[in-house]
Amino acid sequence: TAHGGRVTPASRKERREFLIQESDRKGAKDGDLVVAQPKPQGRRQYGPALGIITEVIGHITDARSASLIAIHANDIPVDFPDAVIEEAKTKQPADVPRTDLTRVPLITIDPHDARDHDDAVYAEELEDGWKVIVAIADVSAYVTEGSALDKEAEKRGNSTYFPDRVVPMLPFELSADACSLREGELRPCLAVEMIFSKDGNKRSHRFLRANMRSAAKLAYEEAQAAIDGKPGGKAGDILETVLKPLWGAYAAVAKARDKRSPLDLDLPERRIQFDAEGEITGITTKERLEAHRLIEEFMIQANVAAAETLEEKKSPVVYRVHDTPSDAKIAAFADFLQTLDMKWNVGERPQTHKFNKLLAEIRGGDYEGMIQQMVLRSQAQAIYSEENLGHFGLNLAKYSHFTSPIRRYADLVVHRALITAHGFGPDGLSERSAARLEEIASHISMTERRSMAAERDATDRYLAIFLADRVG
């Protein structure tokens, strides 16, 4: 209005509205998304609270407003300080001895629209089993402890993925370029070579600080199509040499995985589709291919190897832990199942294979989605911790995050610890940082929850926008 206006909160949890006087509106117009703060009230005790607009961040009709609201409501840092961008553009990795893996045809398999490729895989058949190499971008060579890049990465804790954008942990100059394992380009990496028996049990592993050159960049769908007998383009060229051995090794490792019986919660993931203007065109369920499971399982194996090696070398470790469900949650879960005339033994220690048996029984039934959600709710929250509580969901005794240092600070810390433990170079984990691990673990557990809340918030808003003209 001519005399200012009012600001209503974007979050339903927030009740207060602010009155904005003309002099405090900073050019904001009706329908603008703004950041506002309370105005010091002075002696004024009655009447509505006054506010000052500090920033106009967009307009409510902007197709991308849902992500903007979620970013600001959850305090996700967006803009990189100049010093961080400068470092990202100029940083050169330290000259350290590296194993030459450039002749090994490691390949990346990612979503078709991925910009950052932090992991590459390769497998070959041995006389009595399989050799698998997982190579991960050597991000710690660029993001060194105490640098502006490092401080900003720790502050963010992880990248945040919205339906229409990414708020990255590292500037794109690094994440989509120098640290991305691009096809045909020489890249430094930290690799783990694992030897599996024919029945998929790991016999041994070793870590290497290396150089690699990705032989091919494939999308999940391309790799899967080639294996399913419809090879096209690049996937066809490497079908015999690279893809078939990968699937052979996966078949072996999958046997051991099925025996281990990790929690088999295959919850459908929704993908919101946008047109070039950012308007929502539809909502689909992401298809889960065997190619997804293959990469997932090899990453899990590499993560286990990292935790095992760090323990063996008596190094500080940030574990990824997932506690056993609490008695209270199991009791609530059993009560819920009773309403569907299903039994759950409350006295027994929770085990993943018991959940899996239940999930298999209800598959395709009327209550499948509901029971899956309740199984999920009965679980503890996975966190980062200096103390190893094991990983209930994956049914593993030792687990760390090692495979995504471009998008998670936890993995960067694990890389540094591995570099120090092996004497791979001067850019490892310092004693000063090792002493802060508990504090770091608790901070990055918080940033992960913050990102999940923001991602969920934005997705819910986009769903509501998409369904707004379908009321009834």
Tens digits of pLDDT across the chain (472 residues): 557 788 988 877 777 888 998 888 888 899 899 988 888 876 666 777 888 999 898 888 887 889 999 999 899 999 999 999 999 999 999 899 999 999 999 999 999 988 899 999 999 999 999 999 999 999 999 999 999 999 999 999 999 999 999 999 999 999 999 999 999 999 999 999 999 999 999 999 999 999 999 999 999 999 999 999 998 889 999 999 999 999 999 999 999 999 999 999 888 888 999 998 888 999 999 889 999 999 999 999 999 999 999 999 999 999 999 999 999 999 999 999 999 999 999 888 999 999 999 999 999 999 999 999 999 999 999 999 999 999 999 999 999 999 999 999 999 999 999 999 999 999 999 999 999 999 999 999 999 999 999 999 999 999 988 898 888 8
For the chain, the distance separating the N- and C-terminal CA atoms, rounded to the nearest angstrom, is: 35
List strand residue ranges (DSSP E) for 18-139, in order: 18-20, 32-38, 50-59, 99-100, 107-110, 119-126, 129-137
d(CA 51, CA 14): 15
Evaluate the CA torsion angle 47, 53, 59, 60 in order and state its sign.
Answer: negative
Residue 453 backbone class (left: φ over 0; alpha: ψ -120 to 50; beta: rest): alpha
* Closest to 323 (Cα-Cα) out of 377, 388, 414, 227: 388
d(CA 420, CA 143): 15
Evaluate the CA torsion angle 305, 256, 299, 266 in order and state its sign.
Answer: negative
**Which helix (H) or strand (E) is 337 found in, with range?**
helix 327-339
Q: Residues 197, 202, 205, CA angle at the centre, nearest 5°?
A: 115
d(CA 1, CA 138): 55
CA distances (Å), 47 to each of 17, 41, 79, in order?
12, 10, 37
Block residue for tokens 């009012």: 6
